[in-house]
A and B are shown apart, each in its own frame.
Chain A
Amino acid sequence: MAGERAVGLVRELQRAAGGHLPPFRAEELRQALEEMRALYERNQADVSEAKAGRTDLIFLIRFRHCCLLRNQRCIVAYLYDRLLRIRALRWEYGSILPNAIQFHMSAEEVEWFNRYKKSLATYMRSVGGEEGLDLTQDIKPPKSLYIEVRCLKDYGEFEIEDGTTVLLKKNSQHFLPRWKCEQLIRQGVLEHILS
């Protein structure tokens, strides 16, 4: 059935909720493009025949054209949605993505990600005076400068701005500057305690 594979790609993305990035389905994409190419070629052949006089082929040509447009729409939606998710990852994880996620991206997507990073960095540097402003911190308005965190797993030593290190051992509690802890909270190493 025409258009199945492309719709399959879109369905997979819809199932992967919550901004999760499933692996890049290069094979299915190739098959969908292959299908489009086959349809186009057949259309090409039929158009020349229709011009030669067989007007009953016009409906078939139109049908194939609709399939092509549908495939195009699905594939573009698939690629675009993945890009949006990758963009969100930059805001969540920072400039270095975990290996597991990078594995799921295609080479072009990695390229796009790097360019987006650069673009974001240039913008952040241009805003906020000399040093620039890191917009990816404090996405929710913070209530205090320091927060109390509890360590959920053994992480080892963690360095703070002024050079001092903190040993993060399981079940130890710390009172640290908020912005330093945000990364680790997102990664699940620390847990924010609200008293």
Chain B
Amino acid sequence: MFVSDCRRDFYERIVSQRVLLLVASDVDALCACKILQALFQCDHVQYTLVPVSGWQELETAFLEHKDQFKYFVLINCGANVDLLEILQPEEDTFFFVCDSHRPINVVNVYNETQIKLLVKPDDDLDVPAYDDIFRDEEEEEEESEAESDGSEPSDKRRRFEEEVIERTMKRRQRREWEARRREILFDYEQYEYHGTSSAMVMFDLAWMMSKDLNDMLWWAIVGLTDQWVQDKITQMKYVTDIGILQRHVSRHNHRNEDEENSLSIDCMRIAFEYDLRLALYQHWSLYESLCNTSYTSANLKLWSVQGQKRLQEFLADMGLPLKQVKQKFNSMDISLKENLKEMIEESASKFGMKDLRVQTFSIHFGFKNKFLASDIVYATASLMESIEKEGPETTNFIKALDSLSRGNLDKLHQGLDLAKKQLRAIQQTVASCICTNLVISQGPFLYCSLMEGTPDVRLFSKPVSLCLLSKYLLKSFVCSTKNKRCKLLPLIMAAPMDVEQGTVIMVGIPPETESSDKKNFFGRAFEKAAESTNSRTLHNHFDMSIIELKTEDRSKFLDALISLLS
């Protein structure tokens, strides 16, 4: 059931207990976890933090810890499946789920006792009414009791006929009701999408308890920006949420505007920026950033020779000499950097890129350290999915979690370097896929498969990197193709996951349109296709549209998908 008062029904209940935090492996979950950890440390709530990256790990962690804990908090996992069925907990175990995955499973919504959903009243929840999907079991018992009643032989025949008629009527009603129920559930669960960021929900809780700090606000901003970078929410929702956060930012950071009374330069401050959406441009050179951001690279078509020429024209239009642009951004001439944002925006609109600037926030502390929210998102995401094998997978999670604290700047810089490598690898892969026409239309969707020997293909065996690659690929493809129908198709991307075990990771993303609502139907489609072909698939990720399957089953799986979706 939904928790209306987060503070009373969630926080007050766990403040005197020991809690197990199960945190999913994405940046939004990490940020929400940091905020909650800060609150717990403030109030001395004893907790244990276990990172989980899929359903199997969630189950294992639950089995290991269920004897020791009664209160579990799940962050960015668990809302979209029937938790009680999967985990089979005891009667006195409580789950608090703070998840941005939608649609929320109806069992979780209507369970009154054990499952509490920390979800803000989003306007797009649309949960079906209780009576439409659940029916009392007692009515069936009445029927069977009536059937077993004995009575006098004279009335028996008449009553028998009446009973038969009644029974068939009831059965027909039940069938109708069940058919309608299936339809309602199908409509409800068909599309996957994302709601408010968990980090923002946690920040809201902190604010309600008046324990919010600038640090927590920054984590909430990073959580929201992660949703935007990974294209999980619509532009409108992003702008609305930015507005909400902007109010908090001005509340915490208003002292900087007053010249006399401002804080020392070492204090952390957050500022609202209407800044360029070029990835990592302040920590890279402007040229590299233009080449490796999907928006500019797709619109300028940088995979072709003509595209490169257009880039040169673009730079010339702004009056930026090549030598300057290829240097590190911090070493560019101050005179060029002064009006950079406005200049770029003006020139960009001439080249068809109207949304080069985006509303975001930046953080400052000390003289050297200035980061945009998207920089932190890229750095943390690449730390979490780094392929350097340094122990179990949870080590990467821990590194990424640490990098979000301001004291661990070395890890953050390491993350930035990894992010640069990752972005370059993505751009090169996208360019090669488009130039070699690897993206083929299969009818109801586009399909692209990465071959074994492609450079950096190991980077894309991780779900978030692969999703990022697919989104960039789809954007570039839409700009490159002339076929109007293909522009509206969704994309399925496959990459080799584990060569020894012969598995492939497959990701489905919704079509790229101007006003897309980011709703993804591939979750259900994959499930159905896997069932119908008996393919050996593993639906391990919390996002249902990411699966792993055996390489041999790939072609029959795709055929089943094609027939399902056409």
- State the main secondary structure of chain B at its contact with A: mixed
Which of these binds chain A: B390-398, B465-473, B491-499?
B390-398
Give Cα A85 to B65, complex, Å: 41
A177 nearest in chain B by CB position = B46
Q: Are A171 and B68 in contact (CB under 8 A)?
A: no
Point out the residues of chain B lying under 8 angstroms from A96, CB to CB.
none
Q: Which chain B residues lie closer than 8 Å to A172 at the CB level?
A: 48-50, 394
A170 to B49, CA, bound (A): 11
Contact of B48 among A166, A170, A177, A195 (CB under 8 A): A166
- Kindly supply a per-residue 1/0 record for chain B positions 6-44, scoring 1 wherever the CB is within 8 Å of any chain A CB and 0 otherwise: 000000000000100000000000000000010011001
Contact between B41 and A171, CB atoms less than 8 A apart: no
Are B68 and A167 touching (Cβ within 8 A)?
A: yes
Give A157-176 interface residues, CB cut-off 8 Å to B.
164-167, 169-176
Q: Are B64 and A167 in contact (CB under 8 A)?
A: yes
A195 to B45, CA, bound (A): 17
With contacts A164-B18, A167-B64 taken as known, whether A148 is within 8 angstroms of B37 at the C-beta atoms is yes
Count of A interface residues, CB-CB < 8 Å: 20
Which residues A119-178 have CB closer than 8 A to chain B? 144-146, 148, 150, 164-167, 169-177
**Which residues of chain B come closer than 8 Å to A169, judged between CB atoms?**
50, 64
Using known A-B contacts A164-B18, A166-B48, A176-B46, determine if residue A171 contacts B394 with beta carbons closer than 8 Å. yes
Shortest distance from the beta carbon of A152 to any chain B beta carbon, whole Å: 10
CB distance A174 to B395 under 8 Å? no
Residues of chain A with a CB closer than 8 A to B51's CB: 171
Cross-chain contact B46 with A150 (CB below 8 angstroms): no
Docked complex Cα distance between A195 and B408 (Å): 9
Query: Is the C-beta of A84 less than 8 angstroms from some C-beta in chain B?
Result: no
Residues of B near A150 (CB, < 8 A) are: 398
- Contacts of B405 on A, CB cut-off 8 Å? 195
Tell me whether B47 and A170 are in contact (CB under 8 A): no
Q: Decide if B68 touches A164 in the complex (CB within 8 Å).
A: yes
**Is B407 in the interface zone, CB < 8 Å from A?**
yes
> A121 → chain B, closest Cβ, in Å?
30
Q: Which residue on A lies nearest to B401, using beta carbons?
A: A173
Cα(A174)–Cα(B44), bound, Å: 12
Whether the pair B65, A175 counts as a contact (CB closer than 8 A) is no
| Residue of B whose beta carbon sits closest to that of A193 | B402
Residues on B with C-beta less than 8 A from A175 are 37, 40-41, 44-48
What's the count of A-B pairs with C-beta under 8 Å? 54
**CA A195 – CA B405 in complex, angstroms?**
6
Chain B's nearest CB lies how many Å from the CB of A132?
Answer: 26
* CB-based contact B407/A194 at 8 Å: yes
* Docked complex Cα distance between A148 and B34 (Å): 12
Q: How far is the CB of A158 from chain B (nearest CB, A)?
A: 10
B392 neighbours in A (Cβ, 8 Å): 170-171
* B49:A174 contact, CB within 8 angstroms: yes
How near does chain A come to B344, taking the closest CB pair, in angstroms?
Answer: 37
Q: Are A145 and B44 in contact (CB under 8 A)?
A: yes
Interface residues in B58-85 (C-beta closer than 8 Å to A): 64-65, 67-68
Residues of A within 8 A of B65 (CB): 167
Q: Which residues of chain A are near B49, meaning CB under 8 Å?
A: 172-174
Give the size range of B's interface with the partner.
20 to 34
Which one of B48, B68, B407 has the greatest number of beta carbons of chain A within 10 Å?
Answer: B48
A166 near B68: Cβ-Cβ < 8 Å:
yes
Rounded to whole Å, the gap between the CB of B521 and the closest CB of chain A is 36
Given contacts A167-B64, A171-B398, contact A195 B47 (CB under 8 A): no
- CB-contacts of A180-195 with B (<8 A): 194-195
- B407 cross-chain contacts in A, Cβ below 8 A: 194-195
In the complex, A176→B44 CA distance in Å? Answer: 9
Q: Report the minimal beta-carbon distance from A193 to chain B, rounded to whole angstroms.
A: 8
Which of A145, A165, A177, A194 contacts B68, CB < 8 Å? A165
CB distance from A45 to the nearest CB of B (A): 70
Docked complex Cα distance between A70 and B44 (Å): 59
Question: CA separation between A170 and B64, bound complex, in Å?
Answer: 13
- Closest CB in chain A relative to B409 CB, distance in Å: 13
In the assembly, what is the distance between CA of A16 and CA of B65, in Å? 44
Complex: how many Å from CA A194 to CA B18?
Answer: 21
Q: Output the least CB separation between B44 and chain A (Å).
A: 5
Query: In the docked arrangement, what's the CA distance between A104 and B533, Å?
Result: 67
Q: In the complex, what residues of B have CB within 8 A of residue A148's CB? A: 37, 41
| Bitwise interface map of B from 381 to 396 toward A, beta carbon under 8 Å scored 1, else 0 | 0000000000110110
Chain A residues with Cβ below 8 Å from B47 are 174-175
Nearest-Cβ distance from residue A59 to partner chain B, whole angstroms: 68
Residues in A whose Cβ lies below 8 Å from that of B67: 165
Q: Which residues of A contact B397 (CB under 8 A)?
A: 171
Contact B48 A173 (CB under 8 A): yes
When chains A and B are docked, how far (Å) is the Cα of A145 from the Cα of B47? 14
> Nearest Cβ distance between residue B83 and chain A, in whole angstroms?
21
Q: How far is the CA of A175 from the CA of B49 in the complex (A)?
A: 9
Q: Which residues of B contact A145 (CB under 8 A)?
A: 44
Give bound CA distance, A148 to B36, whole Å.
13
**Alpha-carbon distance between A167 and B398 when the two chains are bound, in angstroms:** 18
In the bound complex, CA of A164 to CA of B17 (Å): 11
Q: How far is the CA of A170 from the CA of B40 in the complex (A)?
A: 22
For B408, give the chain A residue with the smallest CB separation: A195
Contacts of B395 in A (CB 8 A): 171
Q: How far is the CB of B50 from chain A (nearest CB, A)?
A: 5
CB distance from A141 to the nearest CB of B (A): 18
Closest 4 CB pairs of A and B: A171-B394, A173-B49, A174-B48, A175-B47
The 14 listed contacts between A and B (C-beta, < 8 Å) are A144-B41, A146-B44, A148-B37, A148-B41, A164-B18, A164-B68, A165-B67, A166-B68, A170-B391, A171-B398, A172-B50, A175-B46, A175-B47, A176-B46
Q: 20 other contacts beyond A167-B65, A170-B391, with CB at 8 A cut-off?
A: A145-B44, A146-B41, A146-B44, A148-B37, A150-B398, A166-B48, A167-B64, A169-B50, A169-B64, A170-B392, A170-B394, A171-B391, A171-B395, A171-B397, A172-B49, A175-B40, A175-B44, A175-B47, A176-B46, A194-B407
Interface residues of B (CB under 8 A from A): 18, 37, 40-41, 44-51, 64-65, 67-68, 391-392, 394-395, 397-398, 405, 407
